Every structure is written in structure tokens, then in C-alpha cells.
Amino acid sequence: MNLFANCAILLVIAVASEANAQLALPSVFSDHMVLQRDMPLPVWGKGSAGQQVVVEIVDATGGQVASATGPIAVDGRWKVQLPALGAHARALTLRVRCGSESISRTDVLVGEVWLCGGQSNMEWPVGASLGGTEFAASLPSTIRCFTAPHDMAVAPLDEQPAQWVVASPANAQHFTAVGSWFASKVGATLDVPVGLLSINWGGSLAESWVPVAAAARDTLFGDSVAKQQTVAREYEQQSAAEKQLAMSRATDDYQKAIAQYWNALEVKEPGFQGSWQRAEVGEAQGWSNGVIPGQHGSAAGTESLATFDGGTWWRRTIEIPTSWIGRDLRLALGPIDDSDVVWVSGIEVGRTTGLHSAPRNYVVPASAVTSRSLELAIFMLDTGGAGGMTGAAERIAVRAASTDGLSGGDAQPISLAGSWQWKRGIDGGVPVAPAPPVGASHPLLAWNAWGSMWNAMMAPVAGFGIRGAIWYQGESNADRAQQYRALLPLLIRSWREAWREGDFPFGIVQLASFQAASNDPVEGTWAELRDAQLNTLRAVPACGLAVTLDVGDAADIHPRNKQVVGSRLAGWALAQVYGKGGEWSGPLYLSAVARGSQLVLSFDHASGLTTVGGTPLDGFAVAGSDGIFVWGNASIEGSTVVVSHPSIARPTAVRYAWSCNPVRANLINGAGLPASPFATDRPASPSNH
């Protein structure tokens, strides 16, 4: 039997299996979900082919609120559309029936649903943000969040392991911070429940969130997609033995790179040189009190680590039950950003390299458990941004590997959350760890592969009723800003196509200030990326832009003031999407007109132009025909800004806030919202605003 016959048989078996599937709903239709109000609602799933499925919403008394009926197709898939529902803050039930089978999803609310996409600044949790703990405690239970786990796939998936979670003081600590502050303001203003689809991944590239089919049709990106697909086909044509050999070689190379990485680090790290995992601990030796878990800088006692990149050492002594002596133990520490080494009583029990989001679960061998007193030591290495132990406090613990023969409290874990002693080690200059081989080394399971994250994380929820999306990404694409001018609009178009809701609103967070300030009037790749984001606002319908220059952090790519970011996005949504009025944007450049030796700049959103704190206007660079920019003299005239320089008789271009960290920039409008960076010599699409 030839290959094609085998494939045909397998296809028939697969289709038959789908067709005879049990009644099922994807995870986005879980208990506690929020459904989008005031629009028809798609509901879909799987079941037995040829049957009819009935979907209904019922209230607490069992009364039917809405219903829809539809057939199950030959491939076992079904999809119906419920009629539009008004906002509902009291628990409803979604019920699906097919013959004798039935599924119920309880505690269902109806309100506003927003998709929260991007990289780490959208993923950044409430609990690690400025004022996050108090904010989490204030959120009402009518705010819910569905968080997609990090994953990649070669083709779009139907399902993912996730569920809706109700806001509570404990749960909301792990919600997207930007999304949660956005939801809080929108929900309170409209008096409706708000659901967040939090689908993001720190460090991700924009192309990984674009469906392959959409990118393949694009004249600018089609060739890139074709090249990746060619490499993928070549990989798939390899034999299992060839794939295994390639993976083994990649794994061996990775292990060698890790060994070299740690060898080079340990020579420089004073804690390794001084064996701090066994050294005396105390204030006289330079140790301080700090709390685990938590992001460095936000956890109690770690405030001085807010902008620190490098190594920290952590020590604590615990008492264990006598019955644990001579037993293997299990140590659960949650994720540590970025790398770590762990010792128990001077014996190394675990080491993880460069996997900031991976939970640490280490076995403590019985040989290290010789007395009731255990000395724990952790070396944490942060290579950029915020560091620390970032898991939930209730999951950080040590326990007996087996509870055989144990009873009562001896069978329970011992929490490791709370006060530890810590000390700084190596300070700065630490390279990023080697990247591990991805999956089975399939070329489409990669950060730069078109659709890799879309397939696994976004495709399973595409079509779930939403009002719109908010997007905080660009840091990982900042070195390709010109490309981003086309890439971000493509992403928006592709999402709108996938959801089939028309031009749903799309709010963009412009990159915040970052890196050391420079006095160069026109430096910084991030300025180019911000301009690409501004251009998207102008070129793509139904978009918004939240300018965040004033809430950045020179030393941290993850600024902690997420409240301002979420609130500005909410201001845009309330004004532009919900018609509540009010100013939602800072000044946006419109045009420049020459007036002798001056350029007169006009702006949208320019009512009440002024400066931060009433200080002299700054941040404007001007150039003449030679194209050399120098800091200009700028002043406000009504709703315009006039820029000149005594040595430039005929200025030809102006750039504002054109650097990674434009500390001079201080132009705001009467609402106190900052002006977006701009360049008059950059091509711009016509404004939609």
C-alpha cells in the first residue's frame, strides 16, 4: 500500500473520530465567562455528526433568556449564533444539549469583552505593578479574566487548557495589569461586567501573532512566509531518525553552551567565589531582609532592586518534621526571572538557565536531609528588566516526596513564602542565557515564525464575541521599525478577518520611555517604532493610541505604573467606542507650515496646549537643508507650536521626542495628556482622527 493510500485511510479514521465525538465546548466557554452584550454571539463546539444541537441561556429560575439551534456537520463540528443580549450582572447558565448529552456552564455574565494582546508589558501582572495589591483587592467579581497559556503550534488549534477566573484579591494579582485597570474604569463607568481575554507572551514578535494565511497574501510579507513554509516542508520530509539526530545535536550544543555560560559567570560572581550558599548570614555580612515571592523592587525589602540587573543570593533556615529526615523532598519555587541555582544544606539540588516563566520543581535528595534544620540557599540571576521569584505565594513550598507512612501535619507542605535574607552578587553586565532548542525543532515552532503563537493561543478563541482589542507590543520589533509600519496594520486586519465582526476597535499602547537618556536630538530605534505606531493610528480605521512617554523607566523595560496605561486606553474606549465624550489623546502632529525662519506646527487634540509643570517648552529638534538636526527653540502659540533656530534660516524638518528616552519632551494638552513623538520628515498616512 502506498503512502497516499495510507494517508487517505488515516484521514477517514480522523474524520470518523471527529464525527463520533462526544458533545464538547472549547475552554473559552467555561464557567464564570463574560459574554459580549448587544451583538449576536457565536457558540461552537463538537459532537456527533448528523445530530441537532440546542444552545440556550437560562436565568436563575430556569427561564430561557436566549436560544439557538443548529446541525452538527459531517466532521463533528457545530456552530450556532445566539441573539444579542443586554448586559447582565447576575449569574446566568449556558446550556448545550444534543440528544441525551448535555453541558452546562454556570455563573455566566453579559457585559463588555476585550482582547488583551502583546508581549510582557501586557502580560505584566497586577501584583507586580505599582499599587497592585490594593488594586486587586478593590476589583469587583464582575471582572473576569481568561488567560491563555504560553504555547506555539504549526497549525491553528481548536482548544487550549485555560478557563475564566473571577476577580478576587488573590486571583486578580495574576491578571494582566494593563487590562485590569482598563476593565476597572470601563466597567465602573458603564456599570457592566467586563471580561478580558488575556492572550500575550513576554518577548514575542508581532509576526508570531499574525495568521499564516493572512501574511501569505500580503505583498510585503508573502515571500517571508513562503521561505518559512519551504524550510518546514524540508523538515517534515526528514525521517524520524534524521529529526532525532538533529535534535540530539541541538540538545548537546545547548548543554555545552549552558556549561560555558555558567563557567564564565561563576568566575565573576562573588557569591560563587565566596560560597555564599554556606557562608554566615547576618547584617554584618551585608545581608538584608526581603520577602519571597515577588518582583524585585515591589516585594517588601527589595525596593533597592527595582532597577537592578545581576545576581542576588537568598538564604533561609527551616525546621522540618523528624519523620522527613532521610527522605527525598520536593521543592516548588514557581518561576524565577531569569536563572537560578538552589542548594539545600550546601548540596546543589537544582539549576535552571534563562527560563523566566518556567516553574522550578526540584528534588532534594535524602542525603541532604540529615537533620530537622535545613539551610536553603537560592542564587537568582536577572539579565534584564524586572527579576525575582514570580509565582503565587501559596505554591512556594517544600514537602515530602512521598507521604507513605506520614500522617497529620507531617503529610502537609511547609510554606517557603515570607521573610528571607538576601545579598547582592554580580552587578550588571550579565549576558542573556543561551536559548534552548524549541520543541522538536520544527522550524514553525519558533518565535519568529508567522502564526506560531496565533495558532496555539489565539486561534482557539477567534470568533468569541468581543467589543475590541488592546495591544501593548513593539519592544521586540523595535530594530525593524520600518517593517512594523506595515506589520502592525496587517496584524489588525488579520484579527478583524478572523473575528468577522468588522472593524472592531483596536487600542495601541505606544512604547514608554526606556534606556539611558541621551542629549542627541535624533537618536533611538524606539522613536522609529513609536512613529510606526502613530502611523497605524492614522492609517487604520477604528484605532486608538495611548501615549506613555511619561510613565517609562530608563532602567526597566517593564515600567510599573500600569494604572496610567490602562486608564488612558479606557479613556479612548469610553470616548471613541462608547460615546461618553472627553479628551482621550494628547496632541497629535498634523502639519507644518514655513513662516520665514520658523516652522509652525499644527496638532489635533491641541486644546489648551501647555507644558508639564509650566516649564519652558522643550524636546523639539530642527534641521535645515543639510538634514542635520539641532535642538530648536520652541514656543506655543494658541493651538500651534513654533520652532526655529538662530543658525537655520530656512528650517525644513522638525522632530519631537525622537529618542528612546526623550526626557526633554514636555508638551501636553489641557487634559494633561502627553504629545506623541513625531517627525515632519517621515511619510504619514492620512489621519482618521
Residues 26 and 172 in one domain: yes
Please list the rounded mean pLDDT of every run of 10 residues in the chain (689 residues).
39 46 94 98 96 97 96 97 97 97 97 97 92 95 96 95 95 95 98 98 94 97 96 90 87 93 95 95 94 84 86 96 96 92 96 88 95 96 84 88 91 94 90 75 88 97 98 94 97 98 98 89 90 97 98 85 98 98 97 97 97 97 96 97 97 97 97 97 64
**25 vs 3: CA distance, rounded Å:** 34
Residues 571 and 621 in one domain: no
Residues 90 and 200 in one domain: yes
Residues 597 and 577 in one domain: no
Using the 3D structure, point to which of 584, 600, 635 is the last residue of a domain: 584
Residue 442 lies in a domain: no
Alpha helices in 80-211 (DSSP H): 120-123, 132-138, 177-190
Residue 216 lies in a domain: no
pLDDT at position 99, please? 94
pLDDT at position 394, please? 81
Residue 233 lies in a domain: no
Residues 675 and 564 in one domain: no
Residue 229 lies in a domain: no
**Number of domains present in the structure of the chain:** 3
User: Could you tell me the CATH number of the domain that includes residue 280?
Assistant: 2.60.120.260
Using the 3D structure, point to which of 411, 427, 443 is the last residue of a domain: 427
User: Could you tell me the CATH number of the domain that includes residue 98?
Assistant: 3.40.50.1110
pLDDT at position 440, please? 54
Cβ(87)–Cβ(111) below 8 Å: yes
Using the 3D structure, point to which of 389, 409, 427 is the last residue of a domain: 427
Residue 255 lies in a domain: no
Residues 615 and 558 in one domain: no
Domain that holds residue 326: 270-427
Residues 21 and 144 in one domain: yes
Contacts 24+ apart (CB under 8 A), 631-638: 631/521, 631/664, 636/609, 636/610, 636/611, 637/600, 638/609
DSSP state of 576: I
Residues 192 and 104 in one domain: yes
Residues 169 and 206 in one domain: yes
Residue 249 lies in a domain: no
Residues 613 and 650 in one domain: yes
Residue 197 lies in a domain: yes
Cβ(497)–Cβ(214) below 8 Å: yes
The predicted model scores a pTM of 0.80
Residues 407 and 467 in one domain: no
Residues 422 and 320 in one domain: yes
Residue 328 lies in a domain: yes
| Burial category of 206 from C-beta neighbours within 10 Å (exposed 0-12, middle 13-18, buried 19 and up) | buried
